[in-house]
Amino acid sequence: MKMKALVLSPESRLNEVCSEKCRALLNEHFDTSWNDTGRDYTKEELAAMVSEAEVILTSWGSPSITEEALENAVKLRAVGHAAGTVKKLVPKPIFSKGIRVYSAAPRIALSVGEYCLGALLSMLRYLPTLNTSLHDGQWRELGLKGRELTGSTVGIVSASSTARAFIKLLAPFQVNVLLYDPFLSEEAAAQLNVKRATLEEVMSCPIISVHVPNLPATERMISRELIERIPDGAIFINSSRAQCLDKEAFMEALESGRFFAALDVFEQEPLPVDHPVRKLPNVLITPHVAGASVQGHLALMQAVVEDIIRGLHDEKTSFEVSEKMWEIMA
Amino acid sequence: MKMKALVLSPESRLNEVCSEKCRALLNEHFDTSWNDTGRDYTKEELAAMVSEAEVILTSWGSPSITEEALENAVKLRAVGHAAGTVKKLVPKPIFSKGIRVYSAAPRIALSVGEYCLGALLSMLRYLPTLNTSLHDGQWRELGLKGRELTGSTVGIVSASSTARAFIKLLAPFQVNVLLYDPFLSEEAAAQLNVKRATLEEVMSCPIISVHVPNLPATERMISRELIERIPDGAIFINSSRAQCLDKEAFMEALESGRFFAALDVFEQEPLPVDHPVRKLPNVLITPHVAGASVQGHLALMQAVVEDIIRGLHDEKTSFEVSEKMWEIMA
């Protein structure tokens, strides 16, 4: 008999994160209950269904699995979240009940990695600036000469999954990667083919990419003193969270125009219409989309479903979240 | 006794293509004569100096080594060009005299490869469009959702050095590369980890990058019929020469807006101020700078000098131009 799987996302939202192939996979391996109500389940509906579910699948906007709901989830063996953080989705006691938790965060990281490399190469070659200038009727009036990535030094703050995805894409460029992460061992650094470095060293690199989780411990960790270390002409990329920066010092530095930045995240989102960063020609700004891509989103449910199946067969998993990871998760 | 090397480029131009390290290398290995006249040598000066030179080093703007000059070049063993094509620099008879010819073209290709990947990732994620929109005070009003490169199919026209540089950078993306080149053997394709394909197949890919040399044989080789094969939503990159396209058919297709293009080259350069391509939002345009970068240019002389030294020691060379290559060179 197949295990019972409960998909919480209504069709409208499921379509974005679950491919046809993934639906077939779910129906093949599980007795799957799809949400065809056209809306999210109510608390009461969820409580009733949770007691029968052996696997629960969620995505953005899915209702949280509360501690009360967990009391009734007597058959539950796995929760798979076809999105990023599971911090608000599942409560900590889930881990002591032996229920395994999976998150597609590392799959989202792949899109973030591609954004980072795209933003970096784009800025090194002044593509947005040249494109605007050519559309405005100019040719080489700006006198800009691009820069190569190959052989450069890249400083990375935090060895998160997005940082790892970015580092993988840097492989053919033979760059020298300096990585700051207080939890990174010498062995893990060697495996990633990076050098461990202090935050001061990383912030002194000609290319800097920030990948820190949004936690109390990382708030304003990039201080004024560290921002002052960013070399003239450097490229600074932030695809994680804006809260890690001393915002006043950072805006002052950006406004001086002495380095370039690609910013996908902001203290306040949507970015206020009159925010001064919108006026700066040395900043590439995007609306918090580094992790968003058609293919990336469509692959999210499959990533966790495949991993849950591996877990149920006692095979090695890649998307599982441990209690320890949950604790330091943003 | 050291061999005599003659550097033709005057200082002003040499600074762009010859690093301090390369100057030291030249002085170490050769009795080097630097051009400190502040201008190019006259035909007469060149004729006099050529008779003593054993190695000649040139770059953009250097005077051609004519057949007459070659008559006097009795000691000449190698010519190294710290730039691209040597077609107009050296005449064909140079090869039958046993003088070896080197060009830094494969080093320029590295910058082109980086441009191609940067333009591609940039367009896949709509970076220039989003950046303009955010600078204009918007947030996600455009509703654009980016696309991933990982796992895509990339069609490449011609296995030139720029194509090869681009293909190397694609390695971590696990893309499926279809390559059209009538001179590419099955073995060479396997080494590059690409599949040989027809031009029709390549032009039907969702991502297409053109790398053809500018030769009579390639003129308008991308016909109206082939342009019509470009899929809706595709990304078409041209960093080689515009002449390979049926320009009327191509402009019509671009104006329909049904696919995207990154164009670095144009039939007429500088691009005329009123050229209709400047009005198109689906085209990323740059002023023929794909091969231009600070680091790339500064590495050109060293690339050929190191290779000449290898050649003089009967070691394997990487930048040498054979008579056969000269013949099919643009």
> pLDDT tens digits, chain B, 330 residues: what are they?
899 999 999 999 999 999 999 999 999 999 999 999 999 998 888 888 999 999 999 999 899 999 988 999 999 999 999 999 899 999 999 999 999 999 999 999 999 999 999 999 999 999 999 999 999 999 999 999 999 999 999 999 999 999 999 999 999 999 999 999 999 999 999 999 999 999 999 999 999 999 998 889 999 999 999 999 999 999 999 999 999 999 999 999 999 999 999 999 999 999 999 999 999 999 999 999 999 999 999 999 999 999 999 999 999 999 999 999 998 888
Nearest residue, CB atoms, B111 vs list A148, A172, A287: A148
Cβ atoms of B148 and A295 closer than 8 Å: yes
Question: Average pLDDT in the A189-206 region?
Answer: 98
Nearest chain B Cα distance for residue A239, angstroms: 14
C-alpha torsion angle, residues A172, A173, A174, A178 (rounded to 10): -120
Q: Which residues pair with A195 in a beta bridge?
A: A178
Q: Which residue has the tokens 């002023």?
A: B287
Question: Mean pLDDT score of chain B, rounded to an integer?
Answer: 96
Q: Is the peptide bond before A270 cis (omega within 30 degrees of 0)?
A: yes
Whether residue A226 has pLDDT greater than 90: yes
Q: CA end-to-end span of chain B, whole Å?
A: 38
Whether residue A328 has pLDDT greater than 90: no
b/e burial code for range B245-279 (CB count within 10 A of at least 16 → b): bbeebbbebbeeeebbbbbbbbeeeebeeebebbe
Nearest residue, CB atoms, A127 vs list B139, B140, B286: B286
CA-based nearest residue in chain A for residue B283? A131
Which of A133-142, A267-276, B42-51 is least confident? B42-51
Nearest chain B Cα distance for residue A279, angstroms: 6
Its ipTM equals 0.94
Give the best residue of A16, A60, A107, A114 to mutate against chain B (max B CB count within 10 A).
A114
With a CB cutoff of 8 Å and minimum separation 6, the contacts of B233 are B206, B258, B259, B260
Q: Name all domains of chain A by residue range, CATH numbers in brackets.
A: 3-104+299-328 (3.40.50.720), 108-285 (3.40.50.720)
Cβ atoms of A233 and A208 closer than 8 Å: no
Span A6-33, pLDDT tens digits: 999 999 999 999 999 999 999 999 999 9
Cβ atoms of B289 and B118 closer than 8 Å: no
Chain B residues lying within 8 Å of A108, measured CB to CB: none
Cβ atoms of A100 and A55 closer than 8 Å: no
Residue A311 is predicted with a pLDDT of 97
With a CB cutoff of 8 Å and minimum separation 6, the contacts of B173 are A169, B149, B150, B151, B152
Chain B residues lying within 8 Å of A115, measured CB to CB: 121, 125, 146
Cβ atoms of B301 and B17 closer than 8 Å: yes
Nearest residue, CB atoms, B293 vs list A115, A145, A285: A145
> Hey, what are A260's tokens?
């370039």
Chain A residues lying within 8 Å of B130, measured CB to CB: 285-287, 289
Among residues B225, B275, B282, B226, which one has the least CA distance to residue B254? Answer: B282
Integer Cα distance of B31 and A139 in angstroms:
41
> How would you write B224-269 as a 3-class SS string?
HHHHHHCCCCCEEEECCCHHHECHHHHHHHHHHCCCEEEECCCCCC
CA-based nearest residue in chain B for residue A112? B148
Chain A residues lying within 8 Å of B271, measured CB to CB: 134, 139
Among residues B18, B22, B16, B20, which one has the least CA distance to residue B293? Answer: B16
Largest CA distance in chain A: 71
Nearest chain A Cα distance for residue B6, angstroms: 28
CB pairs under 8 A between A and B: 172
Among residues A19, A184, A55, A208, which one has the least CA distance to residue A120? Answer: A208
Integer Cα distance of B259 and A18 in angstroms:
26
Burial environment of residue A275 by CB neighbours within 10 A (0 to 12, 13 to 18, 19 or more):
middle
Residue A330 is predicted with a pLDDT of 81
In this structure, the strands spanning B100-103 and B320-321 are antiparallel
Cβ atoms of B204 and B225 closer than 8 Å: no
Span A58-90, pLDDT tens digits: 999 899 999 988 999 999 999 999 999 899 999
Q: Do A295 and B271 touch (CB under 8 A)?
A: no
Q: Do A124 and B118 touch (CB under 8 A)?
A: yes
Chain A residues lying within 8 Å of B269, measured CB to CB: 139
